[in-house]
Structure 1
């Protein structure tokens, strides 16, 4: 008799591996189907909060950490600011090693190197057919197979999805030391988007992301800006990928199918980062299934992620329409920068950041006024002294 799985997970990335880990740990019979063979390259900046990982999993990720992040630099035109990060807050990973490591923790059967060709949902079960001719049947299915999800298309979900685009290159420049432990975000070079330079153990991950870019715009802009930073892309392969945008207006479940991560459109609306939301959605999918309430998954996603996504979209619109004003205010307002650090670590969502921005605006303006007045009376030394008293590290 053919095996009937409790849950079939399509996609062995962070969302699928997380769901498989918690479901398998609880004794569910799980099958993971991954079209690639892990470890495999995946275009991704790879920035993660260590405290977030520690809050989600009971095991260590130390063996796959590429670099520790000591500070983040933001650049807009001739303006730049470097913000020190708390100890042990941010880490850089390579997705090939990270994904393979996370999937290895799952107590699940894994089919690798095979793609899902067909998904059939019936009132009593869901079945999949793979590229090597195998068929699997499960009670439920989690679609964690990316922005161009085969599962979503098969069951009629997310047909009107909004997408941004990104390009990434792994390079080995002579200027590696300039960016060690210090990721850089560059704004103002592409409409509704940004570029990045992320340090890894032996190379840099550089890239660009934007909403609805013109054909060829990302490649040209990426080469131009990286050349300005003494980083040549000649001889290195560019990897492009879509970034989905979740609005909460589209269904991400059917009776027996739950979408997670990029398949559900879950990426950070401001930065496009997706690992944190992938892990969160995979965990929520597992929790809903283990509670025998898979129909509640969509509500759980909206409660924990959806409203924050809306606030993030609003903040993103505000920033990209008023970049200089927002950049100067945000970069030099320690109340806001602390909120963003907490956002990166998963401790707060975008609603908290928005509240912090508007709640601290009067205090920030008053503080800056006093600092500038101190500078006029006592000179630069007095200005620096007062700034350190008002904004302690």
Structure 2
């Protein structure tokens, strides 16, 4: 058994963000993860606010920079919203994760592949985990970055509310009838939207539902949407939950800190999770470099928790009054959002900017 300063379970965006900062600070960091070759279902859109948080450029894995968004609803014509500078970049999630892992490795983080966890034990001054293969790791602190279905949370007996749901696939470009701009189609599924994300050699296509139980984003529904919009069926289809429960859960359990989807850091309106993942990973690392990480980390993430509480209320209102809200998104509200995103603003900051503009008009 090798002793480490910090263990990180999960090598997605939250885990890699934490690993980079901790290893760069000189700590011995072990990242325990399932094989990266398995990939993680994710639409792969990275907003400018997320791009700005990375400690390094992700340009080598950017497929397309996005300056135009098509927004539609069956009750109204398609509206195209444009910005002078990109508000989002398209990546392939497996490529993005592998690239970020490589960056963390360059700082000194050590990655270990596993088929899963067998057990976890917390003591007064350390936490110990055992993998299914029998490997044992221990450290004073552990960061759980293993997604919405967190094995660490399950082994610790943590419970959280159901989050959002999504299903996605891809269509090779040669099979696509008309190569689309980035598109959000509201009204194609109850309580959510369909998306088309162009990525050069293929189009990522998916369905998002803002709350589990509102509707089922099923394979048949996705294929029907895909045939209608792209003239072909999706390949490599996968469904997955999103962690949207940060406003309703705790962030620390003893010597374990939860980050990313494991902490519920995804915003519920559009299901964007990469910013919250990188932010929470960095703040958890910062807390571990200080005194009492279990106290410092929740305090540091309090601002994002408050924003997600506001966005959660907004999401309930937005999806409760479709198609009225989608028409707002096709108008000045949508323009405010994409322009705000291009400036690196969060959704909450964009909302406040829009409200300020409405007050000035009055």
Q: TM-score, normalised by structure 1?
A: 0.84
Q: Is the 8 A contact 1:20 1:30 kept in 2?
A: yes
Q: Determine if the alignment matches structure 1 residue 285 to structure 2 residue 284.
A: yes
Query: What does residue 70 of structure 1 align with?
Result: 67
> Which residue in 1 is equivalent to 2:356?
359
2:106 is the alignment partner of 1:105: no
1:114 deviates by: 3.7
Change (3 A) 1:52 1:264: closer
The 3-state SS of whatever aligns with 1:99 is: helix
* Unmatched tracts of structure 1, length 5 or more: 367-393
Deviates most, 278-287 or 325-334: 325-334
TM-score w.r.t. structure 2 length? 0.91
Superposed CA RMSD in Å reads 2.2
Distance in 1 separating the partners of 2:38 and 2:200: 18
| Alpha-carbon shift at residue 272 of structure 1 (Å) | 1.1
Separation of aligned partners in 1, 2:29 and 2:312: 35
Q: Rg bigger for which structure?
A: 1
Is the Cα contact below 8 Å between 2:268 and 2:315 reproduced in 1?
A: yes
Preserved contact between residue 16 and residue 142 of structure 1 (Cα < 8 Å): yes
Superposed, which structure 2 residues align to 1:318-333 within 5 Å? 318-333=317-332
Cα displacement (A) at 1:111: 0.2
Q: Name the CA shift for 1:338/1:144 in 2 (closer, same or farther; >3 Å).
A: same
**Structure 1 residues 362, 23: closer, same or farther in 2, change over 3 A?**
closer
- The whole-number CA distance in structure 2 between the counterparts of 1:53 and 1:346 is 8
Single out whichever of 45-54 and 131-140 deviates more from structure 2: 45-54
Alignment of 1:1-393 (within 5 A): 2-36=1-35, 38-50=36-48, 52-57=50-55, 59-77=56-74, 78-106=76-104, 107-157=108-158, 159-174=159-174, 176=176, 178-179=178-179, 182-210=181-209, 211-213=211-213, 218-233=218-233, 236-294=235-293, 295-303=295-303, 305-333=304-332, 337-343=335-341, 346-350=344-348, 352-361=349-358
SS in 2 for 1:355: helix
1:243 CA displacement:
1.2
Structure number with greater CO (CA < 8 Å, separation at least 6) is: 2
More moved, 210-219 vs 284-293: 210-219
- In 1, distance between residues paired with 2:350 and 2:24? 35
